[in-house]
Amino acid sequence: MKSNIKRILIVLIAVFSIVLISLIYLAIPKNQKKPEVQDGKLILGFSQIGSESAWRTRNTQSIFEAAEQNGIQILFDDAQQKQENQLKAIRSFIVYQVDVIAFVPIVSGGWDNVLQEAKDAGIPVIVVDRQIDCDQTLYAGFLGENGLEEGYAAANFLVKKCQNRLSDINIVEFSGTENSSVATERAEGFRSLIRNYPKFKIIYSQDGDFLRSRGKEMMDQIISQNGGLKINGKSIDVIYSHNDSMTLGLLDSLENNKISPRSTIIISIDAEQKCIDALTQGKLNCVVECNPNLGPTLMELVKKIAAGQQIPRVTYMVEKVFTEYDDFSTYEPRGY
């Protein structure tokens, strides 16, 4: 009798172990290897959303460079633009018991459960670049841009440029990834100012997912469906694009369709070198900077948290606005 119970117990333990190992295996993204822990180094688990733009590539580089300079080991995951991959990556960081987790949330919702798991495991989390909608006690702080300010700065340029115009000003908006905080904020910040001037009308707004290919596709579609730079017979006076990749795409489309970019006002966000060049060539009117160089500040925050100190709830990057009225000779190379 006793030996039967023993046998059952052994079988149960074996089954339990197999289930546990499988669960851990499933939680780990397939492209991620178990880290070889380097002696005494802090380990930062970092989930990036992908490489949809030159901005994003620079953002990732900045974080790797700063980690190297600060002797911090990164356990990296590229989510290929999928939130489910980010959730898996964060769970794997918890399994590996990294010291700190940082992630760029592709969209703002859906993080509560995984962040609760990180909190229960005693691993502090820093939200990077984009904001999240969730219980604030579940993460240590946010580091990134102020999307509301960026949208406001874009509108501020437009309001000043068009101050003497009395007729309606028709605006087309190419917006960033749906449900991402940055797209919501850039839309809201822009509207918060132009809504005070009834002459500004947003006649069309479409999500282009921050991609160059989508910027070109959307512009091509508008031109082919409306026979030129118009929407339902109304001229397009302004194109407000939430990022430089989409802007470069729409410029490609204008060029292919032999339409001069000077026939409309174009405002973009990011300040990649290619768009700064386009600004100096008269193809764009204003480029609001979104600073991708988050690495050095992120590493400072990581070291503070790992030392048990508090970090600010929000740390915003300093950002400039480049316009057609600038002295271009003062521009420094952008580095992305």
Q: Which residues bind ligand AHR (CB under 6 A)?
A: 52-53, 55-56, 129-130, 182, 210, 243, 245, 269-270, 290
Per the DSSP assignment, residues forming a β-bridge with 238 are: 171, 265
Q: Of 78 and 270, which has the nearer Cβ to ligand AHR?
A: 270
Q: Of 130 and 334, which has the nearer Cβ to ligand AHR?
A: 130
Q: Which two tokens stand for residue 29?
A: 């993204």
Is residue 287 within 8 Å of 279, Cβ to Cβ?
Answer: yes
Q: Of 145 and 237, which has the nearer Cβ to ligand AHR?
A: 145
What does the alpha-carbon distance between residue 128 and residue 124 come to, in Å, rounded to a whole number?
Answer: 13
Q: Of 28 and 139, which has the nearer Cβ to ligand AHR?
A: 139
What does the alpha-carbon distance between residue 64 and residue 170 come to, in Å, rounded to a whole number?
Answer: 42
Which class for 254: exposed (0-12), middle (13-18), buried (19 or more C-beta within 10 A)?
buried
Is residue 104 within 8 Å of 76, Cβ to Cβ?
Answer: no
Q: Output the smallest distance, CB 172 to ligand AHR, in A.
A: 18
Q: Output the smallest distance, CB 148 to ligand AHR, in A.
A: 13
Nearest CA-CA partner of 163 in 265, 278, 280: 265
What does the alpha-carbon distance between residue 303 and residue 179 come to, in Å, rounded to a whole number?
Answer: 31
Q: Of 98 and 157, which has the nearer Cβ to ligand AHR?
A: 157
Q: Output the smallest distance, CB 320 to ligand AHR, in A.
A: 14
What does the alpha-carbon distance between residue 280 and residue 321 come to, in Å, rounded to a whole number?
Answer: 14
Q: Output the smallest distance, CB 131 to ligand AHR, in A.
A: 10
Q: Of 35 and 110, which has the nearer Cβ to ligand AHR?
A: 110
What does the alpha-carbon distance between residue 219 and residue 215 come to, in Å, rounded to a whole number?
Answer: 6
Q: Output the smallest distance, CB 129 to ligand AHR, in A.
A: 5
Q: Of 65 and 319, which has the nearer Cβ to ligand AHR?
A: 319
CA angle centred on 214, ends 53 and 265, rounded to 5°: 90
Q: Of 290 and 299, which has the nearer Cβ to ligand AHR?
A: 290
Neighbours of 85 (CB within 10 A): 20
Q: Output the smallest distance, CB 161 to ligand AHR, in A.
A: 22
Q: Output the smallest distance, CB 55 to ligand AHR, in A.
A: 4
Q: Of 29 and 105, which has the nearer Cβ to ligand AHR?
A: 105
Is residue 98 within 8 Å of 70, Cβ to Cβ?
Answer: no
Q: Output the smallest distance, CB 160 to ligand AHR, in A.
A: 23
